[in-house]
A and B are shown apart, each in its own frame.
Chain A
């Protein structure tokens, strides 16, 4: 009888232990979803600049982008002149580039998914893998409180066994108050720091409070970075599904 009581107590503890560890009312799932939905809603439209700095060159592209849901994305180059009209279309896991100079569409093969998108430090995969973090990772709150004068929450995410994810671990750090991200830190399969995505310049844009600037800093290329600056963003416009089609791309 006594043994049974002990066992029951242990089981009860085991069940409730996670809740005891962080007794606050934080819901990490909700936080990750809000980070995922930061720049998107049902639909979004925006103009942004992409500034890439490498050891050998520095250049800025102005881009126009549309998105619908989680898996439709269209990005068109406005500037500079050489690349004007160059368009990337993403539907589900497929990425196509439209090349205005030769008026042709090229599908990015899976072997090239890990290579650079538009010469930036983002990969083609980054475009595709914008699915829900909660789907691909197991996660837990690993820090809550003050850090460098900011009240933050840190969530560590580890990929699920069958998830098609290249990272070994992803740390998402958000403001405690409004869940706006501060940074997302990516670790490779050996859990070595691989790259950091920092969010700054929080502004009201398109009726939402969002960081208007993102900077990607790769660890293995010191001095290099890619910065995205949102110039304009609007949410929940009406965009038809066939806007994100190959036919549309070639027009």
Chain B
């Protein structure tokens, strides 16, 4: 019985909607455009944020890093990681990329110029496999597993000591046993600008060379893990924390809190801002249409009130018209918005024309892609639905509250 009546109201609403097809079509167009633009914009913003995150983590930091307790506070060469087997095991079980790095401070000199640097003892093969920075070579080549006595420098460091490919560098460090190590190295490559600490201070050498230079026996100061987005950083952190002790396990968000905060704030701000603007625009459109159609039908409402229709039913009917209108607009908006967003997800667009796009000192790949998810489609549709219901309440309540006698004599 009830269902049948609802069907009737729906049918009535549908018919009412098309009494003025131009007005309805224009409103549908406006609302569907709002939905489509919201879907495209949001997917682009999320795409940019994800890109910034990925650029940040995939370059060199990784999603999670493990250090000996308190290492990051003083970066002492003696605070090395012990018993790394469990960490290797966890990474292997979950197929997460893992690299080990050794760090030591020393002096590097070419000709009359010298500078204090941080030496990175690395394994080039695993760095290349799991991270991206090794591909960002400005000049020369990155290290290979056989490039003994070769060194790769950050760009600003290289220019500060006027080093070029093949330049002989004198390296002077204090070893882990207190002895003073000195060696000659030859520049194999110079990295592109990527992150300030790397640009200004990084001198990368093979782990084997590091051990000789620093009289060290396999000292590992950092393990960086990178699943390339397959896991959330917190998930990896949880996995590791559960099975390790006496180590600091930190996500990239904890390691780079300003960038993490910036991405989050930017995402929330941009999405709220655009949703608000388009939401208001759409709601005004819907409200205008409904008010217009309500005043058009004043006499009609008066007559049906006079023959016993309840105000509640009129309210329902007018609201339903708005909901129907938004539903049609949603379908069109989602189809259009999603297609465009998916296109940008697949092909992206090149923003390299405006110079290097960098984020927090990290240079990004210039192709900007959208990132589509259920939430991104769902949110504008739900938002528009709510907005159109709210926007229709005012005209609907005008219709519901009219006095039949006055309404019958109403001249638009």
Judged by a CB distance under 8 angstroms, whether B218 is at the interface is no
Contacting residues, chain A, for B184 (C-beta < 8 A) = 102, 104
In the complex, the answer to whether A99 meets B170 with C-beta atoms within 8 Å is: yes
Contacts of B180 in A (CB 8 A): 82-83, 86, 118-119
With an 8 A cutoff between CB atoms, is A97 at the interface? yes
Q: Which residue of A lies closest to B184 (CB)?
A: A102
Cβ of B217 < 8 Å from any Cβ of A? no
Residues of A within 8 A of B115 (CB): 109, 111
- Pairwise interchain contact B179-A116, C-beta atoms closer than 8 A: no
Q: Closest approach, in angstroms, between the C-beta of A121 and any C-beta of chain B? A: 12
Residues of B within 8 A of A104 (CB): 109, 170, 182, 184
CA distance A37 to B78 in the complex (A): 38
Q: Which residues of A contact B113 (CB under 8 A)?
A: 107, 109
Instruction: Determine whether A30 belongs to the interface, using a CB cutoff of 8 Å to chain B.
Output: no
Q: Does A115 contact B (CB under 8 A)?
A: yes
Please state if A108 and B178 are interface contacts (CB–CB under 8 Å).
no
Which residues on B are within 8 Å of A, measured CB to CB?
Answer: 78, 107, 109, 112-116, 170, 172, 174, 176-180, 182-184
With A56-B78, A99-B182, A101-B183 as known contacts, state yes or no: A106 contacts B114, CB within 8 Å: yes
Interface presence of A26 (CB below 8 A)? no
Interface centre among A55, A58, A80, A107 (most CB of B within 10 A): A107
Least CB distance, B167 to chain A, in whole angstroms? 13
Q: Which residues between 53 and 78 of chain A lie within 8 Å of chain B, taking CB atoms?
A: 54-59
Contact A102 B109, CB 8 Å, known A109-B116, A111-B115, A116-B174: no
Complex formed: what's the CA distance from A78 to B59 in Å?
46
Query: Which B residues are CB-close (under 8 A) to A102?
Result: 170, 182-184
Q: B172 near A99 (CB under 8 angstroms)? A: yes
Question: Which A residues lie within 8 Å of B177 (CB)?
Answer: 57, 59
State whether the Cβ of A204 lies closer than 8 Å to any Cβ in chain B: no
For B114, what are the chain A residues with a Cβ–Cβ distance below 8 Å?
106-109, 112
Contacts known (A83-B179, A102-B184, A116-B174); A107 close to B116, Cβ less than 8 A: no
Q: Are B116 and A59 in contact (CB under 8 A)?
A: no
Residue with the highest number of chain A CB atoms closer than 10 Å, among B170, B172, B174, B182: B182
Bound complex: CA A86 to CA B78 (Å): 24
Assess whether B78 is in contact with A106, with CB atoms less than 8 Å apart.
no
Q: Does A52 have its Cβ within 8 Å of any Cβ on chain B?
A: yes
Q: List 10 A-B contacts (CB under 8 A).
A: A56-B178, A83-B180, A99-B172, A99-B182, A104-B170, A106-B172, A108-B107, A109-B115, A111-B116, A119-B180
Residues on the A chain within 8 Å of B176, using CB = 56
Total contacts A to B, CB within 8 angstroms? 61
- Digitize A111-125: 1 where CB-to-B-CB distance is under 8 Å, 0 elsewhere: 110011011000000
- CB-based contact A119/B178 at 8 Å: yes
Q: Which of B116, B170, B179, B183 contacts A115 (CB 8 A)?
A: B116
Q: A108 CA to B170 CA in the complex, in Å?
A: 12
Interfacial residues, chain A to chain B (CB-CB below 8 A): 52, 54-59, 80, 82-83, 86, 97, 99, 101-102, 104, 106-109, 111-112, 115-116, 118-119
Cβ B182 vs Cβ A107 within 8 A: no
Q: Which A-chain residue is minimally distant from B109 (CB atoms)?
A: A106
In the bound complex, CA of A76 to CA of B184 (Å): 21
CB-based contact A57/B107 at 8 Å: no
- Chain B nearest CB from A195 CB (Å) reads 18
Residues in A with CB closer than 8 Å to B172 are 97, 99, 106
* Identity of the chain B residue whose Cβ is nearest the Cβ of A54 in the assembled complex: B178
Query: CB-CB < 8 A to B116: which residues of A?
Result: 109, 111-112, 115
Give 16 A-B pairs besides A52-B178, A57-B177, A111-B115 with Cβ atoms closer than 8 angstroms: A55-B78, A56-B176, A58-B178, A59-B178, A59-B179, A82-B179, A97-B172, A99-B172, A102-B182, A102-B183, A104-B109, A104-B170, A108-B107, A109-B107, A109-B113, A119-B179
The complex places the Cα of A186 from the Cα of B233 at a distance, in Å, of 46
A23–B197 Cα distance when bound, in Å, is 58
Report chain B residues within 8 Å CB of A97.
Answer: 172
B150 smallest CB distance to A (angstroms): 15
Q: Which residues of A contact B107 (CB under 8 A)?
A: 106, 108-109, 112
Q: How far is the CB of A50 from chain B (nearest CB, A)?
A: 11
- In the complex, what residues of A have CB within 8 A of residue B170's CB? 99, 102, 104, 106
| CB neighbours of A106 from chain B (8 A) | 107, 109, 114, 170, 172
CA distance A112 to B107 in the complex (A): 8
CB distance from A238 to the nearest CB of B (A): 31
Q: What residues on B are CB-neighbors of A112 within 8 Å?
A: 107, 114, 116
Chain A: which residue is nearest B176 at the CB level? Answer: A56
**Chain A positions within 8 Å of B183 at CB level:** 101-102
Smallest Cβ-Cβ distance to A102: which chain B residue:
B184
Q: In the complex, A107 Cα to B115 Cα: how many Å?
A: 9
Nearest Cβ distance between residue B365 and chain A, in whole angstroms?
34
Query: Please, how many angstroms separate the alpha-carbon atoms of A106 and B172 in the complex?
Result: 8
Give Cα A164 to B178, complex, Å.
Answer: 29
Q: A55–B107 Cα gap in the complex (Å)?
A: 23
How close is B118's CB to chain A, nearest CB, in angstroms? 13
Q: Which of B78, B115, B116, B174 has the most CB of A within 10 A?
A: B116
Residue of B nearest to A115 (CB): B116
Those 8 A-B pairs whose CB atoms lie nearest each other, nearest first: A99-B182, A106-B109, A57-B178, A104-B170, A102-B184, A112-B116, A119-B174, A59-B178
Contacts of A55 in B (CB 8 A): 78
Q: Are B182 and A101 in contact (CB under 8 A)?
A: yes
CA distance A115 to B113 in the complex (A): 18
Q: How far is the CB of B410 from chain A (nearest CB, A)?
A: 84
List the B side residues contacting A115 at CB < 8 Å. 116
Q: Which residues of A contact B109 (CB under 8 A)?
A: 104, 106-107
